[in-house]
Amino acid sequence: MEIGILVYSETGHTISVIDAFKKANEASHVIDIFRISTNASKTSISNIPTTIKKYERLIIAGPVQGFSLCAPLILAIKEIGDFGDKKMDILLTQHFRWAALGGNRALRQAQTEIIFRHGNVEKSTIVHWSSRHREDQIQQAIKLLSTF
């Protein structure tokens, strides 16, 4: 399967999970990671390849910021515009141990934005960075995202 991953990561947390996912699956799948970047004011993004819609599965990954989905991912989703019933997964990372402190809201936001643009959201997961179970959560997230 060809899997495209659109990831935004400021301090390296989310990209580290995505890198581990790629490492776990690259022997049997084509996995292309696109790390998006922004201008200084985070009002515009770059690095979304024109080929992004060719992937059979698309993973959207990034941090929770201000109890919301981080702005660059919202911009990216809007820029892609229409996901054409594509299979999609969402991976978020957040600082707090409880999803109620931003994760749930950000996840709902991501799901709503994607579904509105005809993406078919299948798996969603959050890694809580300050949790003492973080390593387990990362392994669980990788396992979940690796069920195709």
Contact partners, residue 117, CB within 8 Å, separation at least 6:
77, 80, 81, 82, 83
| Cβ proximity of 55 and 27 under 8 Å | no
Which range binds ligand FMN by CB under 6 A, 42-50, 58-66, 115-123, 138-146?
58-66
**Closest approach of Cβ 106 to ligand FMN, in Å?**
8
User: Residue type at 45?
Assistant: I
| 64, 74, 90, 145: residue in contact with ligand FMN (rule CB under 6 A) | 64
Give yes or no for residue 80 binding ligand FMN (CB under 6 A): no
**Closest approach of Cβ 143 to ligand FMN, in Å?**
19
Number of residues that bind ligand FMN (CB under 6 A): 19
Give CA–CA dist 74/16, Å, rounded: 21
Q: Look at strands 57-65 and 68-69 and give their pairing.
A: antiparallel
Q: Tell the burial category of 105 from Cβ atoms under 10 Å away from its Cβ (0-12, 13-18, 19+).
A: middle
| 13, 57, 86, 87: residue in contact with ligand FMN (rule CB under 6 A) | 13
Which range binds ligand FMN by CB under 6 A, 38-46, 81-89, 90-98, 111-119?
90-98
Comparing CB distances to ligand FMN, the nearer of 86 and 92 is: 92
Nearest CA among 23, 116, 135, 128 for reference residue 78: 116
Q: Which residues of this protein are in contact with ligand FMN, per CB under 6 A?
A: 9-15, 63-67, 93-96, 101-102, 129
